[in-house]
Structure 1
Amino acid sequence: MTTPAPTRPLPSGVYSGRPWRIHEITEDFDLEDVWALPVQGGAEDFPRFVESMMGGDDRDFPVAYRFLFAVRWALGRLLGADKDEHGLGQRVTSLSERLPGDLRDQPAPERDVSPFHPLFLTDREYAAEIANRTVHGVLHLGWVEDADASGGYSAQLSVLVRPNGLVGEAYMALIKPFRYLVVYPALLRTVGRRWETAQEVAR
């Protein structure tokens, strides 16, 4: 199927109104962002899409995106924001502890190069988490029936957060302009290209 060009933020109801399994373990998290991704596929394509999005490294992202994250990780090291004591199993308990039994039986593969720790993977959902001194965050991918493509599906990205007090709230407010001006546009373009490559390989 042809990858659609438009990429756009979506209203919160597009995420909250769906019976996603992630709702069962994130009732104390805030929904930060919902985006339509430039990805379409068939009913069975979701695991392959997750692999195309979460696999690989950052070298195919634009320079501005990589520079911004290099600065972020450098500041994190300088300020101690990413120390193990602020991460999963230390400052916060991993959401894997909340997973119902059937989702525990559907783990997503670990990825050494990613700061996100996967929680679960089903035929329609993927979730991974990250934690540091400022925030406990969840990345959620969903595969939804596409009204514009008969029998087709499209991908959505949702980001959920639980800020760590006033410092975490200030941090989320500070980075919001950078997320919308740099991070999301670059992310969505790269995700679209990766999916197109995955589709070509599968043909």
Structure 2
Amino acid sequence: MKLPATAHILRPWRVHEIAPDFTIEDVWALPTPGGPDDLPRLVDNVVKGDFPDNAPLVVRALWEARWKIGAVLGWDRDKPRAARRPPSLLDRLPDDLRRAPRGPELPNLPFTSLYLLHDEWAAEMINGTAHAIMHMGWVPDGAGGHRGQMAVLVKPNGLLGTAYMAAIKPFRHLIVYPALMRRMERGWRESSPATPPAAA
């Protein structure tokens, strides 16, 4: 379920300290009900998930088209930092976050982990169009339990990045995010701890 930006802004996330110049692009309540200590399970599901490989054909086609276009236009090519890309947010981390666990590698997604805490995880992606943060938080659900909450924060890279983010917005909201939510819900169910057998 899509949430207003205030659902992210009003929580005391540490990401506010390191990315005050980023714009909140999307906030979603995740279909991942659990207990107060289940963020590691959510992170594990994201890292080990098969999205977009097992997504519907239209999502895979959009994903593949993005990387092919990026390859032709050089959006994702490594270049000297000063000439092309902003510095990593790792450079902005305060001392306590530098000492915190970095979080896992993401083999299937073009993100790099920044930090992993008890109730939040942040990872960044930097390319020729934008500097983006995927933020996963673990929040009370209002009914005595907890769930995941995902925010996407973006700092476009000039006019190209601004135009690019505007162009892909309908595809994200109508195609990509619904497929992602379904995949996350399925993965969450499949990773649920087995129910113990009833006592005889």
TM-score normalised by L of structure 1: 0.89
- Partner of 1:60: helix, strand, or coil? coil
Contact 2:130 2:155 survives alignment (8 Å): yes
Residues 23-172 of structure 1: pairs in structure 2 closer than 5 A: 23-58=16-51, 59-85=53-79, 91-105=85-99, 106-148=101-143, 150=144, 152-172=145-165
Task: Classify 1:88/1:178 alpha carbon distance in 2 versus 1 (closer, same or farther; 3 Å).
Answer: farther
Q: State the Cα distance separating 1:114 from its structure 2 match.
A: 2.3
Query: Structure 2 regions of 5+ residues with no counterpart?
Result: none
Separation (CA, whole Å) in 1 of partners of 2:175 and 2:194: 29
Task: Classify 1:87/1:153 alpha carbon distance in 2 versus 1 (closer, same or farther; 3 Å).
Answer: farther
Matched, 1:196 2:183: no
- Partner of 2:178: helix, strand, or coil? helix
**Residue type matched to 1:118 in 2?**
S
Write the deviation string for residues 12-52 of structure 1: whole angstroms up to 9, x where unpaired.
11100110011010011111111111111111111111111
Contact 2:22 2:153 survives alignment (8 Å): yes
**Residue type matched to 2:127 in 1?**
N
**Residue type matched to 2:157 in 1?**
N
Matched, 1:174 2:178: no
Residues 14-25 of structure 1: pairs in structure 2 closer than 5 A: 14-25=7-18
Contact 1:127 1:140 survives alignment (8 Å): yes
Q: Show structure 1 runs of 4+ deviating over 4 A.
A: 86-90, 200-203
Per the alignment, residue 3 of structure 1 pairs with none
Task: Classify 1:11/1:90 alpha carbon distance in 2 versus 1 (closer, same or farther; 3 Å).
Answer: same
**Residue type matched to 1:71 in 2?**
A
**Residue type matched to 1:98 in 2?**
R
Contact 1:135 1:168 survives alignment (8 Å): yes
Q: State the Cα distance separating 1:202 from its structure 2 match.
A: 8.3
* Stretch deviating more after TM superposition (163-172 or 82-91): 82-91
Contact 1:136 1:163 survives alignment (8 Å): yes
- Partner of 1:82: helix, strand, or coil? coil
Separation (CA, whole Å) in 2 of partners of 1:20 and 1:202: 33
Identical counterparts, % of pairs: 47
Instruction: Please tell me whether Structure 1 or Structure 2 has the larger radius of gyration of its CA atoms.
Output: 2
Q: State the Cα distance separating 1:111 from its structure 2 match.
A: 2.6
Contact 1:129 1:137 survives alignment (8 Å): yes
Contact 2:47 2:107 survives alignment (8 Å): no
- Partner of 1:84: helix, strand, or coil? coil
Q: State the Cα distance separating 1:91 from its structure 2 match.
A: 1.2
Task: Classify 1:202/1:132 alpha carbon distance in 2 versus 1 (closer, same or farther; 3 Å).
Answer: farther
TM-score normalised by L of structure 2: 0.91
Q: State the Cα distance separating 1:200 from its structure 2 match.
A: 4.4
